[in-house]
Structure 1
Amino acid sequence: MNVWWNEYGGDLLWVGTGLAIVAGYHIALNWCVRRNPRCTIQSVNRQARTAWVHHIMGEPGLQILGVQTLRNSTMAATFFASTAIILAMGVLSLSEEADKIAENWHALNAFGSNHPGLRATKLMALLIDFIVAFFSFGMSVRLYNHVGFQISVPPDLRPPGINPEQVANHLNRAGRFYSIGMRTYYLAIPLVFWLFGPHLMTISSIILIVALYYIDRIAPDSNE
């Protein structure tokens, strides 16, 4: 047990701390949204998307505007999905050269293990991260396409299952998958630094959370 801990204990402590920081931030973020629906930019965007769908479907002649707007979102999600799969292929290619460049990777690794099995685990974590990103953005594209058809159906031809509330739910699901994809991109930053040392992962996680705090938060209304 002592031999195992001496080999992997540093990675467990540092990486566990980094992951706990990231997880704790998102738990606090969800708690904030439950207390105040206008707490984050994501929650405000959900409300905006719902109002936008009701406006587009309620005003004749705006369906083209709706489809054009959705096209922009679809193109963005498609770009990120394509990038994610390219990065995943890059990680697979990197795994073939891991043994050759491991010495350079671990030049700053003062607290972690250099075991080949752990190097494979690091690359596997990074690969899974990009695969999740690809899946999330792919689901986002799928839902954006569905909404593009549903939002352009004339009121007199809409089936019972197509109404503004239902279409808004589909659009918000697409936005949720898009947000998950972006979060996995952000998570890739600490995972990349883990390749060079577990303490660097913790430091990069702290910097990432500070950046996400300013990205996610909504400035308080001065009138309140």
Structure 2
Amino acid sequence: MLDILSPHALDLMCLLASVAMFTLYNVFIWWKLKSNPIFTIQGATNLARRAWVVNIMEEKNDILAVQTLRNSTMAATFLASTAILLSMGVLSLTGQAESLGNTWHTLNVFGSTQQSTMALKLLVLLVNLFIAFFSFSSSIRLYNHVGFMINVPCADGNYSSSLTFVAMQLNRAANHFHIGMRAFYFMVPLMFWMFGPLLLFGGTLMMIIVVFILDRAPKMHSDYIITYEQKSCKLR
């Protein structure tokens, strides 16, 4: 086993380090949201979606609900289609791993240049794209469910039409969309990995910095969030 892995040692170490860094970053964001729901723009929009569900179901804004959910579904559909098309492109590259390796390994000074290493890189990239595809597909499925539930009149004892349940499903759909976008972001350092393992490590660091800047909610007077809390339902 060691003889098989030894040629890919540096590549595997950089891959594990990159996955660990990206995982720790997301754990950090999750931990910060527990104490500060508006630490990231995702946390603020989770509160906004909860308030939106309350407003839609109480004011009976059916047309606005359908239009908003349609836009979200279209965005998820486009990205799911993009992910599966990119997956087909990666699969087509597997038959050209040897010829592509001669070009892509020009900058690869320290990593392995074996054909099996290139196949491993393409496999990891393919898995990442499938994660994105299934995440966006799950998001589409949940948005469709919300489209039906949000137009059902609220009734005491009917859990499936309650404000809390609808808001939970809407936020679940958004969370699946968020996971798909994270997979798309991680595709950037994986593409750099084609040119060398050190570029994978450096690309992951740069990607985390950029994603943190994009994730961080603007620093401003946050009393506006009180309106969301007052109008939104409590999620357990």
Q: TM-score, normalised by structure 2?
A: 0.88
SS of 1:196's equivalent?
A: coil
8 Å CA contact 1:126–1:188 kept in 2: the answer is yes
Match of residue 219 from structure 1: 218
8 Å CA contact 2:90–2:122 kept in 1: the answer is yes
Partners of 1:154 and 1:3 in 2: CA distance: 65
Range with bigger deviation, 132-141 or 116-125: 116-125
How far does the alpha carbon of each residue in 1:74-114 deviate from its partner, in whole angstroms, 9 at most, with x for none?
00000000000000000000111111121101001111111
Matches within 5 A, 1:116-127: 116-127=115-126
Q: Return the offset for 1:17.
A: 2.7
Range with bigger deviation, 3-12 or 104-113: 3-12
8 Å CA contact 2:139–2:176 kept in 1: the answer is yes
The aligned amino acid for 2:212 is Y
Partners of 2:92 and 2:137 in 1: CA distance: 23
Match of residue 12 from structure 1: 12
Matches within 5 A, 1:89-100: 89-100=88-99
Number of residue pairs the alignment of both structures matches: 223
8 Å CA contact 2:154–2:163 kept in 1: the answer is no
SS of 1:39's equivalent?
A: coil
Identify unmatched segments of 5+ residues in structure 2.
224-236
Answer yes or no: is 1:70 the counterpart of 2:69. Answer: yes
Q: Return the offset for 1:34.
A: 1.5
Partners of 1:104 and 1:172 in 2: CA distance: 44
Q: Return the offset for 1:222.
A: 4.3
Change in 2 beyond 3 A, CA 1:17/1:65: same
Change in 2 beyond 3 A, CA 1:6/1:53: same
Match of residue 111 from structure 1: 110
SS of 2:94's equivalent?
A: helix
Percent identity for Structure 1 against Structure 2: 44
Match of residue 231 from structure 2: none
Q: TM-score, normalised by structure 1?
A: 0.92
Match of residue 139 from structure 1: 138
Change in 2 beyond 3 A, CA 1:153/1:101: same
Range with bigger deviation, 90-99 or 115-124: 115-124
Change in 2 beyond 3 A, CA 1:52/1:158: farther
8 Å CA contact 2:155–2:162 kept in 1: the answer is no
Change in 2 beyond 3 A, CA 1:217/1:12: same
Answer yes or no: is 1:34 the counterpart of 2:42. Answer: no
8 Å CA contact 2:188–2:203 kept in 1: the answer is yes
How far does the alpha carbon of each residue in 1:6-54 deviate from its partner, in whole angstroms, 9 at most, with x for none?
6223223333332232122112111211121111111111111111001
The aligned amino acid for 2:165 is Q
Change in 2 beyond 3 A, CA 1:223/1:54: closer
The aligned amino acid for 1:201 is L
The aligned amino acid for 1:122 is K
Partners of 1:146 and 1:35 in 2: CA distance: 30
Match of residue 55 from structure 1: 55
Identify unmatched segments of 5+ residues in structure 1.
none
RMSD of aligned Cα (Å): 2.1
